[in-house]
Structure 1
Amino acid sequence: MNKRLILGVVTVTSAVVLSAYGSQGSSSSHSISSDATSKANTPASPKEKSDVSSTTSSQTSTHKATSQQVKGKLASVQVPKLIWDNQKQVALNAFINSWGSRFSPAQEYDNFYPYTTATNDYMGYNFPDDFSKNNIAVNDQHVNINVSQTGANKYDYNVVAIYSDYPNSHSTIDAHLYFMAIHNGQPVVLITQQNQGTPDNMLHFKPTANQELAGKFAQLVKSTSQPIHNAPVVSYEGAKFDYRQIGVMAYKYANPDATPLVDYLGTNPLAALTSDDGMFQIGTRDTSKTIMYHYDQNGVHLTWNESGKKVDVSLADLVKATYQTPTQQNDVNMAAQMVPLS
């Protein structure tokens, strides 16, 4: 009897212990599941947000830096867009020569500006020098007129080119003098055939009635400048360079004292950039400073015209020597669009 009681107590006690253990195990399992769910749904702490933001910002900065490296540090350099440049001038010269030859008898025109000749004379007038007389009238109105090589708005009429057939015909009856100009932002071709003095001492012009001539000049002014030589365009640090830019940079590299290039090459009527069978030459009447060059993506090959000295310069070194500062960049880009071409 006593043994049964003891066994019963042991059995009941074991059951209670097992029941209690099972209850704790179930509670523990539920608690773990609840904690996991709670953590997943809990908003990120300020520190966690900061870390995420920092990572995103770092990735964005890295992307921007990579993009800038791909573009190159010179990609943002703006090449001035001129109303009139040397390539347009060459195209106009070619048109004038062809256009004049179709008349009967043919009219042979000399370019008084921007190129000078030994005979830039129109019945006693010498242009562009005689603009200083300030005695030009357009449609019987005295006007402020003078040369502006790039067409920049400096005067009422900004003359970019001057042509006359008088030096070749010597006719005081049929000679023509043309001013190609920009007036109030618009192209206009002015003509005079005046062959004697007037009571007001003015030289009188009017817009030409020749629509072919006026139309061609207007088309050139309003169109994009086109290369006149089949030469490569090379690139460095995101910037692109054509044969004109390479030419003036090469001239500067060979002649470090040529500052600014706009004065030495751009506005100097005795300067020239010429091409012969793939070899370019750039210089002025000072033949000791004139150089010949040809180039590709790897570099520029220079030859001094007078001494025969030869130097090979990498594109990187040429840029570093001549195209680093904003002043240098603007000087190169302006001179390249102004130096007389042939």
Structure 2
Amino acid sequence: MSKLLSQYNSSKAEEVIVIMKKLAVILSLCSVGVLLTACAQKSEPTKKVESSSQVKHSSSSKSSRSSASSTTLDKKASESQSSTPWNADKDAQLQSFISSWQGKMGQSYTKYDGQNSLKASTGTTYPDIFSGNGVYMNNSRLSIGYSPTGEGPYDYNVVAIYNHDGTQPPLPNHITYLFAFHNGQPVALVDQSREGEVRVTETKNADVREAFQRIAGENTTTSSDEKEREPSFNELAVMTYAIGYGDGDINGAKVAADNGFLDLYYMQDSGRYGIGQGTSASTILLQQDGDKMKYWTKDTSGGRSTATARVVEHTVSIAELKSRYFSTAEQRATIEQIASKLKTGTSE
């Protein structure tokens, strides 16, 4: 009997072990399923957040690329313009020269504005004539056309046109300057044709020829800041004169120089310079002192004569002179033009 009980108990124990093993497998499978479901549920918000972040990053990247692309294009356009033989800066310098020089000649010039045709009193219209009846030099028709950069398909690429209609008989008459580049070199042509074919020659006016060559010859591949230069002593003298005698106005010095009345002379006994229009009343004394200019004027207030006037010393920094009269291309061209016409000499 005890043997039978023992066998029964052993059989039941084996069944219990089998059942427990099955339950363990089922529980394990359920746990894995739960975990997979939970992971799947948690993964969706993460994907949404990443997607939103990627959109922002992509938008930012596109904006940066667009900005960089725009900057690059602007830079290339600027470099392209600055590398041409002629540009707006040089055009302004030429216009400044013509404005000053025409007074010396007793003439008045009109500039072609690049859009509206410029008509001379003889009936010739620029630049229409280039593609119309044509322009001749030495009995040969020229390949000539308007090209504001100085680069074009013509033998003569015209960058600026100035016309003066004469007022003295025989009428009608005119003087028209065609500033051009021929084989990359600046050439100032002049047309004074009155009837028939338009015939040009290279100008014999040294002022016009040399001014155009000087302006055209400036290095255009450098920036405006790099092109700034230190003024010469004669230019400093002109600017100091504008302050000391012209109450800050440069026009008085310009008119005097254009008419040959402005003198600059060195006084050996004092080591100073005098600049003026030939009279003691119009003359100031000056001397460079490092980064400053010293100048002396006469105080004629209170009814004092020039002979008995008190001499007053003043000082102005070269930096201030440059700021007032030498900070733009047009200003530098004006000062250079005045200084080039100074009558210089030495006084004991």
Name the TM-score, length of structure 1 as normaliser.
0.39
Name the TM-score, length of structure 2 as normaliser.
0.39
Tell me which of the two structures has the higher relative contact order, counting C-alpha pairs closer than 8 angstroms and 6 or more residues apart.
1
More helix, by proportion: 2
Larger radius of gyration: 2
